[in-house]
Amino acid sequence: MMELLAYLHDPELVARFQRRCGLFLLVEGAHDHSREGKRVQNGTPVQHTDKKPRVQPSVVRLDHHTDSDRNSNYKCNENGRANSSSGGIIISKPQYKVTNWPLHILFLLSAGLGHEIFYITVLPCIHWNLDPFLCRRLVNMWTVVMYVGQVMKDVLKLPRPLSPPVVKLETRVDAEYGLPSTHAMAATAISFTLLLSAPSRIQFQFEVGLLITVTLSSLVCLSRLYTGMHSVLDVICGVLISGLLLYLSYPYWEAFDRFQLTSLVAPVALPSLLLFLSLTYPELEHYSTTRGDTTTILGAGAGCTMGYWLDEQFGRVFEPKGVLPVPLPTLTAPVVGIGIARALVGVVVLLGTRLAVKTLSLRALYSWYSVPKNDAGARRRREIEVPYKFATYTSVGVVNSFLVNRMFFLLGLQ
């Protein structure tokens, strides 16, 4: 069993997939050195040789970590700079060659389905243009699944694939641990939550919906291998964990809906729980984006919960018209025009809310903790990062789920 897990976690398996898809790592010494950055070890540049270096096959063990920080993709020196696993500092980005540009673009777009820009645009557009009920289900499951996945990363502490042999196309999250893949978890949860919830609200052919669901979630999963950010084991575990959470929670979706919309304690108890989970996020051995990203997700979930409750109390301004399930709307020019107008107005309002609340909350926290305004690194401290991100995205969630539809009504975009 351990041999199978080690095989699935082997970075060479990811590298082979990348090469089959037309993505190749350009190793130092294999091409023009003037176009490469230098590797520095202990302050001394490593000398290039004319001989092409050989990449030794890697042996992955899931239980050996000798350093206090077990992420081999991230080592910190005394100055806090990110080091390579060999102790050197990589000055330039890895060089690579693409021979299949259609696949390259497809996988990069698929990877984008798990980034903040997708969540702050596509999910709200489902609320504004299709059905708030469906968006509520998606946000609820997204919040649960992402929290579980992020915490598991920092508890299990399995490293991401090493480069070489893997080409890494993303650097922002490289300091995070790998297992499970939260992209795979979110793609599975969002796709199948929508598939399971939509039949009671919208008329569509289930088989077509299933095909689209499997295709989109599979593309996101494969994109994590193509970008070199996860092993096959990370992706498989992400899908299985997400599927298990869907299976366990599905019988309680209706009951939770009623509680979330009608209970007097819901708009206080649920956001308080999510804030507590943000504040008690596991301690990090080194700074990574997991705590901040998790707080962002929990804050958005808290804000949406409050907005859904307020929308129910003050009267819903947007619901599908007709007897449920309703037919999908015909895509006439006026319908498409109104949908685009709603999306543009709504996204601008959300981004404006994000910018305003982020700026004000950071100023208040910097003043409270007597932090210089030019100390950008201070926002990584738990006592600053968690409150400002939670406040920012709680505000975004409330605006998305309660205020924006009312703004559409006032602007005649209903």
In this structure, which amino acid lies at residue 143? Answer: T
The whole-angstrom separation of Cα 235 and Cα 220 is 10
Phi, psi of 52 (to 5 degrees): -70, 125
Question: Which DSSP state fits 208?
Answer: H
Q: Which of 272, 359, 257, 356 is nearest to 309 (CA)?
A: 257
Q: Kindly state the tokens that stand for 120.
A: 């702050």
Tokens of residue 377, six digits: 């690194």
The DSSP output letter for 200 is: G
AA identity, residue 302: A
What is the DSSP pairing of strand 202-203 with strand 326-327? parallel
Q: Does the annotation mark 9 as catalytic?
A: no
d(CA 184, CA 240): 9
When computed from its CA atoms, the radius of gyration of the chain, rounded to whole angstroms, is 23
- Smallest CA-to-CA distance from 29 within 11, 55, 57, 2 is with 55
In the block, which residue shows the tokens 């502490």? 157
State the catalytic residue, choosing from 31, 104, 183, 286.
183
Query: Per the residue annotation, which of 9, 48, 104, 230 is the catalytic one?
Result: 230
Supply the residues annotated as catalytic.
183, 230
